[in-house]
Chains A and B, each alone.
Chain A
Amino acid sequence: NAGVTQTPKFRVLKTGQSMTLLCAQDMNHEYMYWYRQDPGMGLRLIHYSVGEGTTAKGEVPDGYNVSRLKKQNFLLGLESAAPSQTSVYFCASSLDRIDTQYFGPGTRLTVL
């Protein structure tokens, strides 16, 4: 089992460009999450999904959109990237909201 995978691993964007980050899990988990990690800030929840076709806002959702068309995939989109979105993005999944979360390796995004 691959667990949770994320693509790409690194990306550099110019302000105003768009991109999509892909997260995939092979554990048949219902819940999936997108976090961003910034120095000294810990992990902050951007959006999450409680099942195929459902998404919800987290703590810092502005500037991001998500979709979960298939149970195993959770996409994070940036429509118009801003320098404030420079961060490391982590995807995670869990069987239930209260259960152990399994994390992907992260995507390091730089917006110039």
Chain B
Amino acid sequence: KQEVTQIPAALSVPEGENLVLNCSFTDSAIYNLQWFRQDPGKGLTSLLLIQSSQREQTSGRLNASLDKSSGRSTLYIAASQPGDSATYLCAHLKSYGQNFVFGPGTRLSVLP
């Protein structure tokens, strides 16, 4: 059974810091990878989708990279803001015929 882990489980930083969230998989076979944001009591919102042929994706202050050889992905958030406070989840797709498997998430708090 493939597993997805996210480190750290929780993170608290002062406003303005650059930060990195990590996602790793027990099986390094990767087809696609998604990063999501979840606000308390809400559903998930997709942030970035990295296709199998790509190594990274960028959206505004967010950059996600994918290293297939090590089975890891990182989400980089630049110049963090209090509005970035949320739980961030990654989801890993091993192959086309399978479904995304989600990690437990990293709960981020950005302090003003």
Contact B99 A100 (CB under 8 A): no
Q: A99-B49, A105-B42 are in contact. Are A40 and B32 (CB under 8 A)?
A: no
Contact of A42 among B32, B34, B43, B104 (CB under 8 A): B104
From residue 35 to 52 of chain A, which have CB atoms closer than 8 A to chain B? Answer: 35, 40-45, 48
CB of B4 within 8 Å of the partner chain: yes
Contact A100 B89 (CB under 8 A): no
Contact of A97 among B44, B99, B102 (CB under 8 A): B99
Q: Chain A interface: which size bin?
A: 20 to 34
Q: Which 4 A-B pairs have the closest CB atoms?
A: A103-B43, A43-B102, A103-B44, A42-B104
Residues of A within 8 A of B (CB): 4, 33, 35, 40-45, 48, 58, 90, 92, 97-106
Beyond contacts A100-B49, A103-B36, A104-B43: 17 other A-B pairs, Cβ-Cβ < 8 A, are: A4-B43, A35-B102, A42-B89, A45-B99, A58-B99, A90-B44, A97-B93, A97-B97, A97-B99, A98-B31, A98-B51, A99-B49, A100-B46, A101-B44, A101-B100, A105-B43, A106-B43
